[in-house]
Amino acid sequence: MADITYLGRGSVRVRAKEGVVVTDPFPRGAGYDIGKATAHIVTVSSNDERWNNTQAVRPMTERVFVVDGPGEYEVGGVMINGVRTYRDKERGAERGRNTAYVLHLDDLAFCHLGDLGHQLTTTQIEELGTVDVLFVPAYSSLQPAELTEVISQIEPRVVVPLYDDPAQLDRLAHELGLKEWVPQEKLVATTSSLPAIGEETRVVIMQPLGVAVAR
């Protein structure tokens, strides 16, 4: 079983028996506060200051292990695969590089796309592999229709939109076919609770800690 909490912006906390991972911790501001987040591992998708405030996360052991680039990592039983991507459609020439991460916890694969700014190549899709829960950046430079194409490329069982403001969420949620929703404070993911492979992808709207986004 993995417990997912949305801290706000691009930051998600995934807790499972193997360990706790926090993605893209952010600085205070714009109505968000990461609070007293704790983790064993922090992933950083780019060097943008909006996503790399690693000091905001408190260690649960001696120190926080920071993953900040492509490669394969194993930390205390948590397997992480970082895939090189970009924040624009020009291979990073405009907005820089990005790393998409797949976290393997409790027999599930959680993919955090970071600030992805392009459609995925066949090689990148293969490197990501099978994804159960996909965290999609509504704040990226991609339009909602382009983000839905990325979702179709990956074919996850569950999609969780991440956003800087409610307007971004509205646009992506409507593109995904949602007309109204009640945000969840926590998502509990197990192999049996998610839609079966091949079934329609489920969209889950999560409420950032301390921020009301109910529709």
pLDDT tens-place string over residues 1-55: 999 999 999 999 999 999 999 999 998 775 677 888 999 999 999 998 888 999 9
pTM for this model (two decimals)? 0.95
Q: Can you list the domains of the chain with their CATH numbers?
A: 2-203 (3.60.15.10)
Q: Which strands make up the sheet holding 71-75, listed edge to edge? A: 71-75, 78-86, 97-105, 108-112, 133-137, 158-162, 202-203
pLDDT tens-place string over residues 173-185: 999 999 889 999 9
Q: How many Å apart are CA 150 and CA 140, to the nearest integer?
A: 12
